[in-house]
C-alpha cells in the first residue's frame, strides 16, 4: 500500500475508531534508525553522545535490505535520526524515497542547522511526512548553552519556518528541565506564534551525555504540574502535545483527563502514531532502534545490544534476542514495576530503569501512578500508548 493510502487509512481509523496504528504485539511497528553518529553539535544532554561518524556505518545497500526486512516484519513507520541525519542527506533521501515506494511512513529528527529551503523541499519530495526540530528554551542563550554552540537557536527557528512554509509537518521537540521548567508557558506561546502545531515535550532520561546533567531532570512535582498544564492548555489551543522520553502512561492520562473534563484532544492520535495497544513502554515490543553500525537496541534510550544485522538477520534478532524477549515478559520486572497493577499497560521506562540502576528489569524511578489515581483512572482504563523515540 502506498504511503498516502496508508495515511488515509490511519485518518479513517482515527476518526471512526479513535485508534492510530494497529499491529500485533511483538511486531516492530515503528523503527528509529540513527543513520550516523556524526553531528555538527555536541549538545549537553545528547542521549547518544553524538560526535564523529562511526567508522563502519551501514551503506545504502545494507540499509535498504534492513528496511525490506523491517517492512516484512510489519514496520509501518521509520524515523530517521542520528547524530545529525542531514550530514548523510543523499543517503536519507534515497531511503525515504524507497520507503515511500513500499508504503512505509517516514519522519526525520534534525537539529535544523542544515535545513535550507532546498533541503526541506527535497525531504518533502522524497516522502518525509514530518520533521522534528528542537527548541530547548525561548531564551536564545539558554538554548545555545544546552546545544553547546552560539547561534543554534536562530538557526533552529529558521529551520522551523522553512519547513512550515513548505507545508512540511513540524514537530518541535523540547526538553523540559528543572531550571527551564518555569519558562514552559512562554516557550509554548512562542512556538504557537511561530505556527507550530505539534510539540513533543521531552523528559530527561539520563543516557549518554544526559547522564552528566541528570541533576537537571524535573522534580516529580514539576512533571505532574506540567502534565496537568499541558492537558489544560490543549483544551483551548490547536497545538497538540505529547510527552516523550520515558513517560509511557502520558497518553492515557491525558485522554482520561480530557474525558473527565468533557473535552477532547485535537487530532492527537494520527499525529503521534498512537497505537491501539496498551503496552506502555514499547521497547522491544512494538519498537526498536537501529544504530548506524547495524546494532539493534530495544530503544534509543536503552543502549543494550540485541544483535547486529551484519551478523544475523533482523528477523532472527527480533524473534530470538534474549533482551528483546525479556522485555516482552513483564512478569520478569522487579521492584515496584514488577508488582504493579499497571505492569502490562505501563511497565515503566526500561531505559530509565537501566540508566538509574544498571538493570533494565528494575523499577523505573519516575512513576505516574499517583497521578493516575488522583485523576480517577484505573488500570483497566488504559488502552493506548504514545511514542517516545530519540
Ligand atoms: S510502578 Fe509506576 S512506572 Fe512501574 S509499571 Fe507501575 S505505574 Fe508504571
Ligand atoms: S525505554 Fe520505553 S518508555 Fe523509555 S523511552 Fe524507550 S520506549 Fe519509551
Residue 386 has what pLDDT? 60
**pLDDT exceeds 70 at position 332:** yes
For 169, counting Cβ atoms within 10 Å of its Cβ (0-12 exposed, 13-18 middle, 19+ buried), the class is middle
Question: Residue of the nearest CA to atom 2 in ligand 1?
Answer: 367
> Using an 8 Å Cβ cutoff, are 281 and 348 in contact?
yes
Residue 205 Cβ < 6 Å to ligand 1:
no
Q: What pLDDT was estimated at residue 318?
A: 98
Average pLDDT in the 318-345 region? 95
Confidence of residue 127 (pLDDT cuts 50, 70, 90): very high
Q: Which ligand is nearest to the CA of 280?
A: 2
Mean pLDDT of the chain: 89
Cell matching residue 339:
508488582
Instruction: Give how far the C-alpha of residue 218 lies from the chain's centroid of Cα atoms, to the nearest Å.
Output: 18
Average pLDDT for 78-91: 96
Task: Write the residue with the smallest CA distance to atom 4 of ligand 1.
Answer: 337
Evaluate whether 348 touches 362 at the Cβ level (below 8 Å). no
- β 287-290/295-297 pair status: antiparallel
- Measure CA 263 to chain center: 25
At 147 the three-state DSSP class reads: helix
* pLDDT number for residue 274: 65
pLDDT reported for residue 373: 86
Q: Determine the pLDDT at residue 16.
A: 66
**Could you tell me if 78 and 104 are in contact, meaning their C-beta atoms sit under 8 angstroms apart?**
yes
94 CB within 6 A, ligand 1: no
Q: Is the pLDDT of residue 34 over 60?
A: yes
151 upstream amide cis, omega within 30 of 0: no
Please name which ligand lies nearest the alpha carbon of 247: 2
State if residue 348 touches ligand 1 by the CB under 6 angstroms criterion: yes
Q: How high is the pLDDT of residue 226?
A: 93
| Cell matching residue 323 | 533482551
Confidence (pLDDT) at 390: 53
The three grid cell numbers given for residue 180, joined into one nine-digit string: 527551564
Residues 6+ apart with CB under 8 A from 390: 32, 47, 48, 81, 109, 289, 299, 300, 301
Amino acid at each position: 500500500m502506498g504511503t498516502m493510502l496508508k495515511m488515509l487509512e490511519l485518518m479513517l481509523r482515527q476518526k471512526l475508531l479513535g485508534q492510530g496504528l494497529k499491529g500485533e504485539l511483538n511486531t516492530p511497528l515503528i523503527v528509529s534508525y540513527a543513520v550516523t553518529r556524526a553531528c555538527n553539535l555536541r549538545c549537553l544532554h545528547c542521549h547518544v553522545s553524538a560526535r564523529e561518524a562511526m567508522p563502519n556505518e551501514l551503506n545504502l545497500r545494507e540499509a535498504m535490505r534492513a528496511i525490506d526486512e523491517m517492512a516484512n516484519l510489519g514496520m509501518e513507520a521509520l524515523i530517521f535520526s542520528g547524530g545529525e541525519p542531514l550530514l548523510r542527506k543523499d543517503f536519507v533521501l534515497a531511503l525515504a524515497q524507497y520507503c515511500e515506494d513500499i508504503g512505509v511512513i517516514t519522519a526525520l529528527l534534525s537539529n535544523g542547522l542544515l535545513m535550507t529551503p532546498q533541503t526541506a523541499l527535497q525531504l518533502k519530495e522524497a516522502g518525509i511526512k514530518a520533521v522534528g526540530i528542537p527548541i530547548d528554551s525561548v531564551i536564545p542563550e539558554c538554548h545555545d548553552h544546552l546545544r553547546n554552540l552560539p547561534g543554534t537557536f536562530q538557526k533552529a527557528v529558521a529551520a522551523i519556518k522553512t519547513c512550515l512554509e513548505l507545508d512540511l509537518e513540524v514537530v518541535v521537540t523540547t526538553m523540559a528541565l528543572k531550571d527551564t521548567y518555569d519558562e514552559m508557558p512562554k516557550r509554548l506561546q512562542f512556538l504557537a506564534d511561530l505556527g507550530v502545531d505539534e510539540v513533543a515535550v521531552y523528559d530527561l532520561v539520563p543516557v549518554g551525555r544526559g547522564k552528566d546533567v541528570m541533576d537537571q531532570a524535573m522534580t516529580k512535582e514539576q512533571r505532574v504540574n506540567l502534565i496537568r498544564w499541558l492537558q489544560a492548555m490543549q483544551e483551548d489551543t490547536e497545538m497538540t502535545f505529547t510527552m516523550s522520553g520515558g513517560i509511557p502512561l502520558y497518553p492515557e492520562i491525558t485522554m482520561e483527563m480530557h474525558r473527565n473534563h468533557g473535552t477532547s484532544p485535537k487530532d492527537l492520535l494520527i499525529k503521534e502514531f498512537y497505537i491501539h495497544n496498551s503496552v506502555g513502554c514499547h521497547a522491544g515490543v512494538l519498537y526498536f532502534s537501529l544504530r548506524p553500525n547495524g546494532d539493534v537496541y530495544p530503544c534509543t534510550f536503552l543502549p543494550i545490544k540485541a544483535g547486529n544485522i551484519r551478523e544475523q538477520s533482523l528477523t532472527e534478532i527480533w524473534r530470538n534476542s534474549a533482551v528483546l524477549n525479556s522485555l516482552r515478559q513483564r512478569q520478569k520486572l522487579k521492584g515496584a514495576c514488577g508488582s504493579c497493577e499497571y505492569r502490562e499497560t505501563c511497565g515503566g521506562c526500561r531505559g530509565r530503569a537501566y540508566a538509574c540502576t544498571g538493570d533494565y528489569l528494575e523499577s523505573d524511578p519516575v512513576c505516574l501512578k499517583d497521578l493516575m489515581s488522583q485523576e480517577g483512572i484505573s488500570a483497566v482504563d488504559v488502552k493506548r500508548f504514545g511514542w517516545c523515540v530519540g
